[in-house]
Amino acid sequence: MTPFERARLEEARRRYNLETLFAADPPDWPVVIARERWPAGLADALRRAELLGDGEPVEHPVCGRCWRHCHVDARAVEHADGRSFLVGACDEGEVAGLLTFEHADRATVRVHPRMLAHRIADGLGLVGVIEEVLAGRVWRLGHRALAGARRVVFLARGEFDPAAVDEAGAVVLTPDPGAWAAVDAVVLPLRTVVDIHEAFAVDVDGLEAALGRKRRKAVEPIRVAMGLDWRRVTVRVVDDDAIEIVAPGVRERRTFAEVGLGDARKGDREPTRAWAFLLLLARNGGSLQTGDAGSGEDERKAAQALREAMRRLFAPELVGNPVMPWTAAEGWRAGFHLVDGRPPR
C-alpha cells in the first residue's frame, strides 16, 4: 500500500465508521450511506458481525459533488449497449452539467441497532433484559459492577431525552456525547467500548478505565452538513481567549474552554498549549515555519491536541485535516482558513 493509499484509507475510516452509521437518524440514512460507497473492508467487518444490512434504495441518488449532497432528481436513460443509467442535475446548481449515476448508487446500508445493543450487552457481560426505552433511539442494556459501583448501561442516539435515562449512576454510550451531556449520568462516546473502525469488538477494560478517570466536560459540538471540508471553515481569532468560527450556515464565537482547549487541571480557567499554538499559527498567517523545531516534541503534541480538539468540535466530523502534518517546506499549517483578528502587536 502506498502512503497515499494508506492516507485515503485512514480518512475513509474516520468518516465511515460504526458511530457515523449508528448516529444518523433514520431520515438521514440515504444521505449517509448512498452518497459514497463504504470502503469494502469496513463494511465487510460490520457485515460479518451481522451489524450491517441493506436498507431500502433511495429514490433519488445523492449528488456528493456539492457540499449539501443534494438529492438529484435523476431519470433512467438507456445506453446504446443496453445498459441503463440515471441522469440528472445538481439541485444546488454547484455542479455544472449533468451527473450520471449507476442504479447501484441508490443502494443503502444500515446498521441493525437491536443487534448492536445485544452485542454490546454480551461483550460487557451485562445482566438483565435488553429493553428498548425509546423506539429506535435508546436501549437499556443491563447492569453490572463497573469501577467499584453498580452501573446501568444505556445505548443512545439522536436527540437528548432526560426521561429515557432515569437511573442514578447510569452510563450512556452514544456516538454523540455532546447531545447527551445534560443527562444526569456518565456519558461516554460509543468508541470507548466498541472498536468502531475495524472488526467489531467490545472493550470492558476501556469502559472501566473511562469510568475511573476524571471526566472532562463535554464540548457542545457545532452542527454542520455531512461531508463538509475543513477548507470551507474560517477561524478568526477575536482576542487571546476567543475565536469566531464561520462555516456554511454557522457563525459562532467560542472561548478556549468552549472548544475543549481549557486546561482541565486548572478548571478550564487557563488555556492549554494547543490553544497557544493556534494563536501562534494565526499570528503567522496560518502556518508556522519552525525549521528543525518542527520535530520538537512539545510542538508535535500541541499540534496533535489542536487537531483532536478541532475534530471533536464538529458533528459530524469534517473531511480533511484541521492541522496538516509538518513538512520541511511549510512547517505547520492549518487545514482551515485561519485569520488573526487581534490588533497587530
Residues that bind Zn ion (CB under 5 A): 63, 66, 70, 90, 92
To Zn ion, the closest distance from the beta carbon of 72 in angstroms equals 7
Q: What is the dihedral of CA 136, 26, 52, 140, to 10 degrees?
A: -20
Q: Which residues of 304-317 are buried (b: 16+ CB within 10 A; e: fewer)?
A: ebbbebbebbbbbb
To Zn ion, the closest distance from the beta carbon of 43 in angstroms equals 24
To Zn ion, the closest distance from the beta carbon of 64 in angstroms equals 8
To Zn ion, the closest distance from the beta carbon of 69 in angstroms equals 7
Cβ atoms within 10 Å, residue 268: 18
To Zn ion, the closest distance from the beta carbon of 68 in angstroms equals 6
Candidates 101, 137, 116; CA nearest to 49 is: 116
Nearer to Zn ion, 74 or 153 (CB): 74
To Zn ion, the closest distance from the beta carbon of 53 in angstroms equals 28
The amino acid present at 158, given as its one-letter code, is: G
Q: Is the backbone of residue 43 left (phi > 0), alpha (psi -120 to 50) or beta?
A: alpha
To Zn ion, the closest distance from the beta carbon of 65 in angstroms equals 6
Q: By three-state DSSP, how is residue 130 classified? A: coil
Cβ-closest residue to Zn ion?
A: 63
Cβ atoms within 10 Å, residue 218: 18
Q: Which residues of 25-62 are buried (b: 16+ CB within 10 A; e: fewer)?
A: eeeebbbbbbbeebeeebbebbeebebbeebeebebbb
* Residue 94: C-alpha distances to residues 70, 202, 207, 253, 297 (Å): 10, 43, 45, 29, 43
Give strand ranges (E) for the chain: 52-54, 75-78, 84-89, 98-101, 109-111, 131-134, 138-146, 149-156, 171-174, 186-189, 222-223, 234-239, 242-247, 250-255, 287-288, 314-315, 323-327, 331-334, 337-340
Nearer to Zn ion, 89 or 238 (CB): 89
To Zn ion, the closest distance from the beta carbon of 86 in angstroms equals 14
Nearer to Zn ion, 90 or 318 (CB): 90
Rounded CA separation 34/79 (Å): 23
Nearer to Zn ion, 63 or 152 (CB): 63
Nearer to Zn ion, 89 or 280 (CB): 89
Nearer to Zn ion, 92 or 161 (CB): 92
Nearer to Zn ion, 66 or 305 (CB): 66
Nearer to Zn ion, 228 or 257 (CB): 228
Largest CA distance in the chain: 70
Rounded CA separation 335/229 (Å): 9
Q: What would the grid cell of residue 317 be?
A: 466530523
Nearer to Zn ion, 67 or 200 (CB): 67
With beta carbons less than 8 A apart as the criterion, state whether 296 and 273 touch: no
Nearer to Zn ion, 94 or 298 (CB): 94
